[in-house]
Amino acid sequence: MERVAIFGAAGAIGHAVAGELRRRGLWFRVVGRRRAALEPLEAAEIVEADLTELRAAGDAARGVDTIIYTVGIPYHRFDLHPRLMTTTVEAAVVTKVTRLMVVSSVYSYGRPETPRVAETHPRLPHTHKGRMRKEQEDIALQAQKDGLLQAAVVRLPDFYGPHADNSLANPIFRAAMDGRKANWLGSVDLPHEFIFTPDAGRGIVELASRMEVYGEAWNLGGPSPISGREFITRVYTQAGAKPRWRTAGPAMLWVAGWFNTQMRELVEMQYLQQTPVILDDSKAAQLLGEVSKTPYRAGIAETLRWMKGA
């Protein structure tokens, strides 16, 4: 892996991947819709591109051997995931890109059938967003089966950390710093899982650099399950504030959805708060020897430092 393009680089995971590539001294290009959002990444090249267009995606892919795909889509446009992946695969094939690493989520698994979800768990998504993620993954892995390129999928849980303001977790940090109540979806006492964004960046780049990972899917999880109550309490305590929160269940979200599109989109994802997906990433640990897992205390401290300086 010598020349890398990060598609969707402006998001939290794109930032984390860029940081890891920079740390390793690798050449990389960042790709996104707005140059201003890409400039802070200190990449060798910046390419503004609308990845729904094949010509633009081809220009973004040309001259690299590896694409790390970290594109994020607003909930109300999740139907774009398969379309963007199709365009990315076509552009990669035309420009002779060797490898494609796709960053996905737990959504494609659907409701968990086991306490911990390994890559062998059936993918039976029952939500629109889960089906779109599964279709996206299938397009990439089918390209590998068809001999068009080498493709792999890495699935992440919810994340927190620098640049992750659109996550479930980071608004809790903002609330703690501002002295407001945190918002939490569902029960605060059920287990949840968060991965620290720099850990995700390290894991993704390490997997992408190894030829034996391609043709398969890989999980990367957090340090341990943690309840919403404990996570919120840790954030507030480390921010020097008294923990305060309010919760929202399906009925409240459904009502709020009449007035707020984002709330409406969250209704179908409530199953994750009722039947949490906790990832088993022992497969990656067996291959890599070690998967970076920053303890929550250290990750929360670093996130607070970043937010104070952002």
pLDDT in tens, 131-173: 999 999 999 999 999 999 999 999 999 999 999 988 889 999 9
Whether residue 306 lies inside any domain: the answer is no
Q: Which domain holds residue 122?
A: 3-160+193-224+277-294
**Is residue 131 domain-shared with residue 177, that is, in the same domain?**
no
Contacts of 140 (CB under 8 A, 6+ apart): 69, 85, 89, 100, 102, 151, 152, 153
**Is residue 147 domain-shared with residue 184, that is, in the same domain?**
no
**Is residue 17 domain-shared with residue 112, that is, in the same domain?**
yes
**Is residue 113 domain-shared with residue 252, that is, in the same domain?**
no
**Is residue 155 domain-shared with residue 11, that is, in the same domain?**
yes
User: Residues 269-281: pLDDT tens digits?
Assistant: 888 988 999 999 9
Query: pTM for this one?
Result: 0.94
DSSP H or E run through 294: none
Per DSSP, the three-state class of 61 is helix
pLDDT at 20: 98
pLDDT at 291: 87
CATH number of the CATH domain containing 284: 3.40.50.720
Number of domains observed in the structure of the chain = 2
155 neighbors 105 (Cβ within 8 angstroms): yes
**Is residue 211 domain-shared with residue 95, that is, in the same domain?**
yes
pLDDT beneath 50: ranges in the chain: 253-259
**Is residue 238 domain-shared with residue 141, that is, in the same domain?**
no
**Is residue 257 domain-shared with residue 179, that is, in the same domain?**
yes
Whether residue 49 lies inside any domain: the answer is yes
**Is residue 35 domain-shared with residue 62, that is, in the same domain?**
yes
- H-type helices in 24-102, by residue range? 35-38, 54-61, 80-94
The CA distance from 32 to 51, in Å, is 8
Mean pLDDT of the chain: 93
pLDDT at 167: 87
Other Cβ atoms within 10 Å of 176 Cβ, number: 27
The CA distance from 245 to 168, in Å, is 14
